[in-house]
Amino acid sequence: MDMQISQASKGDRDARSAASIGAMSREQLILQLSAIAGPSYLQAGLRALASYAGASHYLLARCDLIQENGLDFVVACDWPFDLVRRLAPELTSGYGRTGELEKCMALFQPSAAVLPDDVELPEGVGRQYYAMTFNVGRTRFSLLLLTRDSVPFLLERLRDVGLLSGYLASFTRCVEVRSERDFDLTERELECLFWIAEGKTSDEIAMILGISRNTINNYITSVMRKTATKTRSEAIAFAVRNNLV
């Protein structure tokens, strides 16, 4: 019951902020963001950014975690849980389809998509949603915004939204988790991977790094063991996919 009430009051707040959307300038937004502090600053900040764009709900995801099972990739979100759970597999399957270069060119470029017909949406939320990516360090984030039927979505504001989301995410520790997930590869191993991806042979790398060819081969074997890959090609593919090189 309490939950319903808080939901309802949240709805009111949404409606109010929606009404004032046209008036919110970038300066006001920045003022609002600068004033945010405390443990839930990311949520509060994203909420402000969503309403600046005329969106009703936000979901911030870490793209590098999307391939895995579960919902770990969600960093912050105010979507209904059912909707996140329903959409997760679609995000997972959609993410692998574009190449890295294409992704690099798509920074802050919003793409529109439509939610499937069979999902239940919060009152007043439209089926159209927008997604956009940005990077903080080596971590690529995806920001998904739900729209409201009654409020115009301000596409031209999304670059600001992406940028400021990136600023907010720069403060979080969620970015740093990445280094622990670098699959425990040593610096030497990463260095070898880099040169192999550049097309160098073991002999050439031995020359470049000034260590013996056998040592290089040992490093590579150890990389394949740690990343559970069977061939050199697969190890490089793995490294490229995970932005290790």
Partner 1 sequence: MRYQPDRTTGTPAETRLTRSGRISGRSDLFPKLVSMLKLIDAQHFAVYRLHGSGLPHKQRLVCELDNWGSANSVVGKAFVDAYSDALIEHIEKSMLPLMWNGRDSDSTAETLDFASFTQRLKPHLVPFAGVAFPVRLGSVGNGYVVFTAKFMDLASDMIVELHGRCCQLMMELLSLDERRSQAAEALSEREIVCLQLAGDGRISEEIAEKLGLSVHTVNAYLGSATIKLDSVNRIQAIAKAIRFGYIS
Q: Residue 134 and residue 104: Cα distance in Å, rounded? A: 9
Phi and psi at residue 196, in whole multiples of 5°? -65, -40
Task: Give CA angle at 53 (46, 31), nearest 5°.
Answer: 60
Of 87, 178, 174, residue with least CA distance to 125: 87
Q: Which two tokens stand for residue 236?
A: 């490089």
Residues 41-80 that bind partner 1 (CB under 8 A): none
Q: Which two tokens stand for residue 201?
A: 């042979």
Of 5-13, 81-89, 92-100, 121-129, the window that binds partner 1 (rule: CB under 8 A) is: 92-100
**Residue 168: CB minimum distance to partner 1, A:** 9
**Residue 163: CB minimum distance to partner 1, A:** 5
| Long-range CB contacts (within 8 A, 24+) of 74-82 | 75/42, 75/141, 75/169, 75/172, 75/174, 76/42, 76/43, 76/46, 78/43, 78/46, 78/47, 79/146, 80/120, 80/122, 82/119, 82/120
Q: How many residues at the interface with partner 1, by CB under 8 A?
A: 58
Taking a C-beta distance cutoff of 8 angstroms, is the pair 58, 50 a contact? yes
Q: Which of 86, 127, 159, 226 binds partner 1 (CB under 8 A)?
A: 159
Of 48, 57, 54, 56, residue with least CA distance to 27: 48
Of 225, 136, 174, 165, residue with least CA distance to 43: 165
Does position 136 bind partner 1 by CB under 8 A? yes
Of 7-15, 72-80, 115-123, 189-197, the window that binds partner 1 (rule: CB under 8 A) is: 189-197
Nearer to partner 1, 51 or 125 (CB): 51
Calculate helix-pair angle for 187-197, 213-226, nearest 10 degrees.
100
Does position 241 bind partner 1 by CB under 8 A? yes
Does position 4 bind partner 1 by CB under 8 A? no
User: Binding string, 107-126, against partner 1, x = CB under 8 A?
Assistant: xx------------------
**Residue 179: CB minimum distance to partner 1, A:** 9
Does position 226 bind partner 1 by CB under 8 A? no
Of 9-17, 118-126, 170-178, 210-218, the window that binds partner 1 (rule: CB under 8 A) is: 170-178
| Binding-site ranges for partner 1 (CB under 8 A) | 26-27, 30-31, 33-34, 96-105, 107-108, 134-138, 140, 159-160, 163-164, 166-167, 169-170, 175-176, 187, 190-191, 194-199, 201, 229-234, 236-237, 239-241, 243-245
